[in-house]
Amino acid sequence: MVEMRENEAEVIRTLQSHSGNCSFDELLGTTKQSDAAVTRALTALQESRLIRVTETDQVLLRLTEEGLDYAKRGLPERRIVQAVLELGGEATLEQAAKHANVPSNLMSVALGWMKSSRWCEVSSQFQKIVLRAAGIPDKTDVERTLELLSSKPELSLEEVPQDLRQMVEVLKRRQLLTSKRQRRRYIELTSQGWKALEQGITVPSEVSDLTPELIASQRWKSVSFRKYNIAAPVTPTWPGKKQPYRQFLDKLKARLVSLGFKEMTGPSVELMFFNCDALFMPQDHPAREIHDIYFVKTDRQGDLGEYRHFVDPVAQTHENGWKTGSTGWGHRYSRDEALKLILRSQGTALSARTLVSKDLQIPGKYFSIVRCFRPDQVDRTHLTEFNQVEGIVVGADLSLRDLLGVLERFAVDIAGADKVRFRPDYFPFTEPSVELQAYKEGYGWLEFGGSGIFRPELTLPLGIQVPVIAWGIGVDRLYMMRTGIDDIRMLFAQDLDWIRKQKVL
């Protein structure tokens, strides 16, 4: 007879009922014991060479709700092409999307994929995108992969044919698919384990708790106490903590405050006036089109009543340069355009609001960490929304040297960069303009954002008579460099395993 503890005996007998070989999950589902109890039993049985435990890594794939919808109804780009054909072979993007019941927020994404797949001829007429389609496209590898993955709630990567593996990454970039790496354990009875079962198993009477009754009656002297293996693994516990990226942003904010910066605040739904006009961006600038800005779907206009005395100087600066010494943009300024409501596309909008604030202090240092929104094709380096660190310093005698010093300190002290370099750039609202790039060993060079000195065409109409140095940095990429992450989507992922393993900064 072979002696073993009760939980070990139950585990080895359960393993026998599975013909001596099963996964940890199957074993756990069959026994009535907890995860921790089964784990301790396996450790003891493995040490006694009664079982053999092996581990394998497996990537499991699951379609998102959006992915399941596309598998059922078709990708938005295919539905739009089908709509163009039903409308006679030519239609505007808006007409085709409406006919295909494709939401407006997916139009830019669908347009990008139609262009790359060459499913339609794309042209522009009267600020409208016109699509021309010749026929129904063949089913793509992406669609075949989507169809395969929709056949089961969860599929392992090994079950995906080799010629479609690359499409898995495409679906992940489009956020139609999630994947998780799962380590699976398999348990197998050894020849010694089978021999122990043949000989028979007995469970000795053991005491696991030293109770007051045992002590008072002195029975503790005669009972057999269970021995504990303090090296045996136990179920991991995860204490509560902040989401890693949220924690980084909070520490960044505290760092900037400690350097004497005051925080700027403003609405996410912004007026075109502050997002573009006040920044001396011409009203016909490409960055103000539907491909680069999310417009709020409403017939209402914003209100500039509180800031009406700034509108005329800004309008005149756009038209003829006003008192700035510039010739302006030479077009007629539209106040209706200025009142349009959009989702903030750049943090610099908060800088414009701060410069017209009655609470502005000169000299002064200001910062913001805000969420910005731009239509974009989602991939490992781009999202449709991103965080931006915006900063301005207002004061007499400021120069480009002051700006470069602030940027270098930011990249080295906060991002942990090994080297920093600056390159000339162009922005409508700064002159000179500088692009900040930082290098980290093992990660390479990364573009952080733009900076420069605000032009007189921006500052003078807003009543500012002194230099203003400004910068806007993609803080998402800054965090990626600091932590070695190479996919921006991980910052906002709901992967609990990844979140739990991130170190507290």
Closest by Cα among 308, 305, 306, 326 to 317: 326
| Residue 50 DSSP one-character state | S
pTM of the predicted protein model: 0.58
CA angle 425–429–430, rounded 5-degree value: 50
Residues 6+ apart with CB under 8 A from 269: 296, 341, 342, 343, 344
Please state the CATH superfamily assignment of the domain spanning residues 245-268+345-501 in this structure.
Answer: Bira Bifunctional Protein; Domain 2 (3.30.930.10)
Contacts 24+ apart (CB under 8 A), 79-88: 80/107, 80/110, 80/114, 80/131, 81/114, 81/119, 81/120, 81/131, 81/133, 81/136, 81/137, 82/136, 84/120, 84/131, 84/132, 84/133, 85/133, 85/135, 85/136
Q: Rounded to an integer, what distance in angstroms lies between the CA atom of residue 204 and that of residue 87? A: 81
Domain residue limits, the chain = 2-59+182-221, 65-179, 245-268+345-501
Please state which CATH class domain 2-59+182-221 belongs to. mainly alpha
| pLDDT score at 109 | 82
Strand partners, 360: none
| pLDDT score at 397 | 87
What H or E segment, with its residue span, contains residue 445?
Answer: strand 444-454
- From first to last of the 505 residues of the chain, give the pLDDT tens digit: 777 888 888 888 999 999 998 888 888 888 888 888 888 888 889 888 999 998 888 888 889 888 888 888 888 888 888 888 888 888 888 888 888 888 888 888 888 888 877 888 888 777 788 888 878 888 888 888 888 888 888 888 888 888 888 888 888 888 888 888 888 888 999 999 899 888 888 877 777 778 888 888 888 887 777 777 677 666 677 788 888 889 889 988 998 898 889 999 999 999 999 999 999 999 988 877 777 899 998 888 999 988 999 999 999 999 999 999 999 999 999 999 999 999 999 999 999 999 999 999 999 999 999 999 988 878 777 888 889 999 999 999 899 899 898 888 877 877 678 888 999 988 888 999 999 888 877 777 877 788 999 999 999 999 999 999 999 888 888 788 777 788 888 888 777 777 887 776 6
| pLDDT score at 448 | 75
Q: Could you tell me which CATH number the domain at 65-179 has? A: 1.10.10.10
Instruction: Tell me, yes or no, if the two domains 2-59+182-221 and 245-268+345-501 fold the same way.
Output: no
